[in-house]
């Protein structure tokens, strides 16, 4: 069975407000082979936005990290690709799937799938101006599934790594991910396809890899509060037992995550960390009281003490 998995990478999906440097490093630690930054506004980069440039930061301890950019103007995307290339990421990823209304309204992200001619111009602009490999993350269509046409367009630009989330843009994250699009995979022997959508367990990941060997697996929401999922999938691949995460590993991970957030953001990291703590505590017994305390507290020492005394069982 191992031969089915030898060419498979586990990828942390780009997620706005989530896949910053601290979280990427935590996921790297637990086995994510590739990570991607939060989406970065191409226009923000060419206008010199401090916020946009901060998102480009890749720590020296990170490995195989790509930078995702979004926009709808080919000229702007071309200039952004040149800027991003100077930061020497492992690759530049083009966002062609974000379902956020504000992004779609601008014609960016998933909105690119509403105008396939411009979509192709945007892809070409980035490919022609990037000094690093270019990938694309997209969806099966805007309102309907026309994934075959989308894949053809991406392929024609020379991009050879394509991540597809198995929902339409209009679906957002409702319903279930549809992997019928994978029937097109065998048509492209020189493309690395990345499967994305509802991969939230080792069993689901293994089922997909066995069904579509040679593909990569991209995990987004399944890693929220659960960076351990990458390690669990790798253990499943090796046929090793998958045990529940011990309290010590769970607590040490949250504490390390806090420390990275404080190092990167200063005191504001305590506020940004609140959503992550909510995910780490999700579904655990008697967690409401501790979450309420943490969401109000701005004292790192107090937070760690409370978490250290928490009984998850």
Look up 98 and say whether it is catalytic: yes
Beta bridge partner(s), residue 69: 40, 94
> Which of these is catalytic: 27, 98, 136, 182?
98
What does the DSSP assignment read for 76-100?
A: HHHHHHHHHHTT--S-EEEEE----
Beta bridge partner(s), residue 127: none
Catalytic residues: 98
């Amino acid at each position: 069975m191992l031969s089915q998995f030898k060419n498979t990478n586990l990828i942390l999906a780009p997620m706005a407000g989530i896949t910053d440097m601290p979280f990427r490093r935590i996921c790297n630690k637990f086995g994510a082979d590739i990570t991607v930054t939060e989406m970065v506004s191409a226009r923000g980069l060419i206008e010199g936005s401090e916020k946009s440039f901060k998102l480009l930061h890749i720590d020296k301890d990170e490995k195989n990290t790509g930078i995702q950019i979004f926009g709808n103007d080919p000229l702007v995307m071309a200039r952004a690709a040149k800027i991003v290339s100077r930061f020497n990421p492992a690759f530049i990823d083009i966002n062609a799937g974000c379902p956020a209304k504000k992004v779609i309204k601008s014609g960016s992200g998933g909105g690119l799938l509403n105008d396939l001619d411009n979509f192709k111009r945007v892809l070409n602009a980035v490919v022609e101006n990037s000094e690093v490999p270019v990938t694309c993350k997209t969806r099966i269509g805007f309102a309907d599934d026309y994934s075959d046409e989308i894949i053809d367009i991406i392929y024609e630009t020379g991009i050879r790594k394509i991540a597809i989330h198995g929902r339409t843009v209009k679906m957002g994250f409702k319903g279930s991910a549809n992997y019928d699009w994978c029937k097109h995979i065998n048509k492209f022997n020189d493309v690395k396809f990345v499967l994305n959508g509802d991969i939230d367990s080792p069993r689901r990941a293994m089922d997909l890899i066995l069904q579509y060997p040679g593909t990569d697996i991209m995990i987004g929401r399944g890693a929220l509060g659960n960076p351990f999922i990458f390690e669990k999938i790798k253990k499943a691949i090796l046929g090793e037992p998958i045990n529940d995460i011990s309290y010590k590993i769970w607590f040490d991970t949250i504490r390390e995550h806090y420390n990275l957030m404080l190092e990167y953001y200063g005191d504001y990291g305590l506020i940004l960390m609140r959503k992550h703590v909510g995910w780490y505590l999700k579904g655990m017994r008697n967690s409401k009281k501790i979450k309420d305390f943490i969401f109000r507290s701005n004292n790192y020492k107090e937070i760690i003490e409370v978490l250290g005394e928490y009984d998850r069982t």
